[in-house]
Amino acid sequence: MTERGELRRDLEALLFVSDEPVPSAELARSLGVDRRQVDTLCEELARSYEERGAGIVLRNVAGGWRLTTSPEAAPVLERFVLASRHVRLTKAALETLAIVAYKQPVTRHQIASIRGVNSDGVLRALIERGLVTEVGREEGPGRPVLYGTTPEFLERLGLSSLADLLPLAPLLGAAEEGTAADGAD
């Protein structure tokens, strides 16, 4: 494989595992090339997806490159997600919401560490539903966004303030996996 081919392969792999737009500068650092070269490679890759009518597209959005599904595949995807992923989505969303509620203010990264998987999509869904919102930024490198629950979240649960959330301590010892699963259904 040519050096250019290897770069394109590595670039595609990087974009594949990322769930948000990756700035050219960051891709350039990972690949050991300059930004301009990254942009050229990304444009090439985007064109090749387009030419072969792929199910994924590569876009330059919000200051970075991001792989996503082709808009034309949306109807099939929606059917697929609703039919077979629904339970998983519910479980993921509940877990994420519980973490935000009890650990707020919390960063995306902290949530992902606790759940063991990237939870950005879920977090976005919770924001869209008005249950979670940005509440500030953490001090320190990158100043990551901090998330917390909204007044609507409290209202939906019939709580007057966060202080009314049930204390976790008594549950930490007793709670079984089974009960968590029940709650997720």
Partner 1 sequence: MSEERADTGFAVELPVFTGPFRVLADLLLEQKIDVCDVPIAVVTEGFLRHARDADRWSLEEATWFLAVCAILLELKVGRLMPRHEAIDEEDLIGVSPDLAYARSMELAAFRRVTAWIAERLEREALHVPRLAGPPQEFAHLYPDVLEKVTAQDLARIAASVLRPPPVLDLSHVTPIRYTMAEALRAVRAHLERRRAARFRELVADCEERIQVVVRFLALLELYREGAVELRQAETFGEVEVLWEGGA
Q: Which residues bind a second copy (CB under 8 A)?
A: 1, 5-6, 8-19, 22, 26, 29-31, 48, 52-56, 67, 69-70, 72-73, 76-77, 79-85, 88, 112-113, 116-118
- 57 and 70 in contact (C-beta within 8 Å)? yes
What does the block give as tokens for 9?
A: 């392969």
> Of the listed pieces 2-10, 27-35, 41-49, 78-86, which binds partner 1 according to CB under 8 A?
78-86
**Cis check: omega of the bond before 141, within 30 degrees of 0:** no
For residue 124, the partner it binds in a second copy, partner 1, none, with Cβ less than 5 to 8 A by kind, is: partner 1
- Maximum alpha-carbon separation in the chain: 63
Task: Give the whole-angstrom CA distance, residue 145 versus residue 109.
Answer: 10
Residue from the set 45, 145, 146, 184 that interacts with partner 1 by CB under 8 A: 184
Cβ–Cβ under 8 Å, residues 111 and 123: yes
Tokens coding 71: 């808009």
Min CB(180)–partner 1 separation in Å: 3
Our CB check for partner 1 shows the closer of 37 and 98 to be: 98
Q: Which does 126 bind (CB under 5 to 8 A by kind): a second copy, partner 1, none?
A: partner 1
Q: How many angstroms separate the CA atoms of 18 and 55, rounded?
A: 17
Our finding on whether 51 is near partner 1 (CB under 8 A) is: no
